[in-house]
Structure 1
Amino acid sequence: MGKDPDDSRESFDRRLRQAMDRQRPDRATQPKAAGGDMSDLGVVLRAGTEMVSALVVGVALGWGLDRWLGTRPAFLILFTFLGGAAGVLNVWRLVRPDDTPGDKPGP
């Protein structure tokens, strides 16, 4: 009565695979391991913070030096570019792949 007309092993394997797929949590909705990887929103917020903070520090240093030395905004321009470059470098370090060849010391 409740038996599948095809009682072969392939039918059982197919139905078992389907049941296991239904029970397996979806990787897109599964939260990442705590402490392991950051969530996408966390990465975006940290990258933005890194960029803005490096730029603010560069502008503040340049403005302070120009004001202290009484010069035209030469240091402001210089340190704005240096702060921007530092921010980009920090974001690159944040998002680069972990398995880059230069990360590990050689034997």
Structure 2
Amino acid sequence: MTDPDHSDGEKKRLQALEDRLREVRKRDAPQVRPDRDFSQADLAWRMVIEMVAGIGIGATIGYGLDTLFGTKPFLMIIFLFLGLVAGVRTMIRSANEVQMKQQAKAASEDKGEESGREH
């Protein structure tokens, strides 16, 4: 940018133009959130899928064992309930995980505000 052909007025105008372009690019840049929070819908779908998967896997194992041992529908009912319990436990674990992330985020934001006040 240090071109000897440009006068001081032109240099100032070019610098002002570059500053404005930088501001516009910064403002219009897409906002990327690599560690985004789960929305309520995402969390709900995740829990529904976990519940259905637990029930489906339990019922499938029970049906397979019933077919193998000839005890229809005794084992399928037992494993269906075991799958239900496993699905509920997985849902609770997922909910606790999301809650811990939200609490950690809130704590880090509070700490950031406190350190900002000290300066």
Alpha-carbon distance between aligned partners in 2 of 1:43 and 1:69, rounded to the nearest angstrom:
39
Q: Which amino acid in structure 2 is aligned with residue 66 of structure 1?
A: D
- How far does residue 44 in structure 1 lie from its aligned partner after superposition? 0.6
Identity %: 34
Alpha-carbon distance between aligned partners in 1 of 2:67 and 2:37, rounded to the nearest angstrom:
43
Q: Which amino acid in structure 1 is aligned with residue 68 of structure 2?
A: W
Q: What is the root-mean-square deviation in Å for CA atoms of aligned residues?
A: 1.8
| Runs (5+) with no aligned partner, structure 2 | 1-32, 104-119
The 5 Å alignment of 1:71-90 reads 71-90=71-90
Alpha-carbon distance between aligned partners in 1 of 2:74 and 2:88, rounded to the nearest angstrom:
22
* The structure with more helix, counted as a fraction of residues: 2
Per the normalisation by structure 2, the TM-score is 0.52
4+ residue segments displaced more than 3 Å: none
- How far does residue 72 in structure 1 lie from its aligned partner after superposition? 2.9
| Runs (5+) with no aligned partner, structure 1 | 1-32, 100-107
The alignment partner of 1:52 has SS state of: helix
Per the normalisation by structure 1, the TM-score is 0.57
Q: Which amino acid in structure 2 is aligned with residue 62 of structure 1?
A: G
Q: Which amino acid in structure 2 is aligned with residue 60 of structure 1?
A: T
Larger Rg: 2
Count of aligned pairs between the two proteins? 68
